Amino acid sequence: MIRLFHDPVADTIAACNQLFPDLGNIQIVFEIAPTRGINKRWGWTEFDDDGNLLCVGVNVRCPYQFVPEIVAHEIAHVVAHKEAPATEDDHGPTWERYFSLIFDTYNENLGGEKVAHK
């Protein structure tokens, strides 16, 4: 039997579930997206016209070591949107607070070993 221990993506999701147990079902999809030009994106969060979450996306071309940060980044958008749907820019103080909280919880769950983020 093959097992994967300390999967950083699963650990990121676990930190998010620990912090935000009432978020509901969130689909994380891996899709091909442009990596160059004006439409370049490594991750995205999609809401419908009523502000309901459709999905969180991660570009399959994203280097694996960045996927946990992309997931945390996008989940921070979901949580910030629930608190302040249209009151600030995409990466304002509400988003930053939640992104940092996810990052800190991830590190605490690893026993305090700090993993750098941008």
Please give the Cα distance from 87 to 66 (Å, whole number): 28
The reported pTM is 0.86
Domain positions in the chain: 8-109
pLDDT digits (tens, 9 = 90+) for 3-60: 888 899 999 999 999 999 998 889 999 999 888 887 789 999 998 888 889 999 999 9
User: What is the DSSP secondary structure assignment for residue 7, as one 8-state letter?
Assistant: -
For residue 71, give Cα distances in angstroms to 1, 10, 52, 56, 87.
Answer: 28, 10, 18, 8, 23
CATH topology of domain 8-109: Zincin-like (3.30.2010)
pLDDT digits (tens, 9 = 90+) for 70-87: 999 999 999 998 887 666
Please give the Cα distance from 6 to 21 (Å, whole number): 21
Which pLDDT score is estimated for 22?
92
Please give the Cα distance from 11 to 77 (Å, whole number): 18
pLDDT digits (tens, 9 = 90+) for 89-103: 678 899 999 999 999
Residue 114 confidence class, pLDDT cut points 50, 70, 90: low
Measure the CA dihedral 47/49/52/58, to 10°: -10
